[in-house]
Amino acid sequence: KDNALLGPAEIRELAERAGIRPTKTLGQNFVIDPNTIRRIIATAGVEPGETVLEVGPGLGSLTLGLLDAAERVVAVEIDPPLAHQLPETVERFRPEAGGRLDVVLSDALRVTELPAAPDALVANLPYNVAVPVLIHLLETFPSIRHGLVMVQDEVADRLAAGPGSKVYGVPSVKASWFAEVRKAGVIGTNVFWPAPKIRSGLVAFTRREKPLAEVDRGTLFRVVDAAFAQRRKTLRSALAGWAGSGAAAEEVLTRAGVDPSLRGERLGVEEFARIAAAADAPGP
Ligand code: SAM
């Protein structure tokens, strides 16, 4: 059958063939529902000419759908038996698509080179490293213009949150430094094998065409980490350690035009960028 996607029977058979038992440490929950795959791909807005980066292809559920929608798929998988079996699975279910797949056996947190520059990232991310993987890939591969990731639902809410929201925090600010981020749906637990305990959320993003400000990314992220490390403190005291003293923090904040008595959770990414720029600018 032409566009058959993997269901529960195929997934179990492929797991057995690979000789794996899904592990929690690697966040191995495989999608067994073709409708979920179709929904992810439709929501991701993958275009026929695109090269798509997939992190954690697992047994290939999403990979097959991506090969139908895109020109090329680069799949980064950390688990050797899964990485080794993937080309075989594609050969079996999409014999014509084999030449359009690259499998990279690697930790997505560390990967710095890919066989082709990806236009998009579409992935059902391993849950325990979802945020650092997303940030690392946005940082390392500027060719990624848009994408859709499936993560734990609460992480999806955090990534898409803005200032004022209870769940606004470090992931929200870092993601929005690179991209405009929105929550694009919720996925129940029964579409996976094995079923996770909590539901999943879809997060869609579009990279900002121009950086929000000319600032050093390292400085910016250090400010953000410090501001949220002590959520209940004012910026003046939360940034004291980073700036050297409360007075130094106050001086930088004032030059940035940010009220030192605010808490970090009130600031948008543009204001964090102003603080980073003020810190890196020569002092008065
Ligand atoms: N894409 C498949 C699907 O939707 O059925 C599997 C998704 S499963 C949630 C996560 C996958 O990521 C697993 O295949 C796991 O082995 C892989 N993985 C876990 N940690 C990884 C890492 N650091 N780098 C690359 N892949 C990783």
Q: Could you tell me the distance, in angstroms and rounded to a whole number, from the CA of residue 50 to the centre of ligand 1? A: 22
- pLDDT surpasses 80 at 2: no
Examine the pLDDT at 1 and tell me if it is beyond 70.
Answer: no
Q: What pLDDT, on the 0 to 100 scale, is given for residue 284?
A: 57
CB-ligand 1 contact for 155 (6 Å cutoff): no
Give the span between the Cα atoms of 137 and 148, in whole angstroms: 13
Burial class (CB in 10 A: 0-12, 13-18, 19+), 248: middle
With 0.90 as the threshold, say if the pTM is over it.
Answer: yes
Q: Would you state the pLDDT for residue 183?
A: 98
- Cα–Cα distance measured from residue 276 to residue 270, given in angstroms and rounded to the nearest whole number: 10
Which residue has a Cα nearest atom 20 of ligand 1?
A: 26
Q: What does pLDDT average to over the chain?
A: 96
pLDDT at 207: 98
Give the three-state DSSP class for 243: helix
Query: Where do the DSSP E strands lie in the chain?
Result: 30-31, 51-55, 72-77, 101-105, 120-124, 146-152, 179-187, 192-193, 200-207
User: Is 66 close to ligand 1, i.e. is its CB under 6 Å away?
Assistant: no
φ and ψ at 62, to 5 degrees?
A: -80, -35
Centre of ligand 1 from the C-alpha of residue 176, in Å: 24
Name the region of 244 (left: φ>0; alpha: ψ -120 to 50; beta: rest): left
CA–CA distance, 114 with 227 (Å, rounded to integer): 34
Q: 109 CA distance to ligand 1 centroid (A)?
A: 12
Best mutation site among 30, 32, 36, 101 for ligand 1 pocket (most ligand atoms within 8 Å of CB): 30
Q: How many angstroms does the Cα of residue 94 sit away from the middle of ligand 1? A: 21
Per-residue pLDDT of 136-163, as tens digits, reads 999 999 999 999 999 999 999 999 999 9
Residue 37 has pLDDT above 50, yes or no: yes
Is 180 in a helix, a strand, or coil? strand
> Tens digit of pLDDT for each residue in 42-97?
999 999 999 999 999 999 999 999 999 999 999 999 999 999 999 999 999 999 99
The whole-angstrom separation of Cα 82 and Cα 18 is: 7
**pLDDT band for position 269 (50/70/90)?**
very high
Going by the annotation, the residues of the binding site for S-adenosyl-L-methionine are 29, 31, 56, 77, 107, 124
Tell me the mean pLDDT in the region 151-178.
97
Average pLDDT over residues 236-245: 97
- The CA 55 to ligand 1 mean position distance, Å, reads 6
Listed residue (72, 11, 18) closest to 36, CA to CA: 11
Surface-to-core class of residue 183, CB atoms within 10 Å of its CB (0-12 exposed, 13-18 middle, 19+ buried): middle
Q: What is the ipTM of this complex?
A: 0.99
Among all chains, which residue has been given the structure tokens 């079923």? 195
Contact 111 CB / ligand 1 (< 6 Å): no
Residue percentage of the chain with pLDDT more than 90: 94
pLDDT level of residue 283 (50, 70, 90 thresholds): low
In the 3-class helix/strand/coil scheme, how is 81-109 assigned residue by residue?
HHHHHHHHHHHHHCHHHHHHEEEEECCCC
Q: Is the CB of 108 under 6 A from ligand 1?
A: yes
Mutate to test the pocket of ligand 1, among 11, 78, 150, 197 (most ligand atoms within 8 A of CB): 78
- Please state the rounded mean pLDDT for residues 207-212: 92
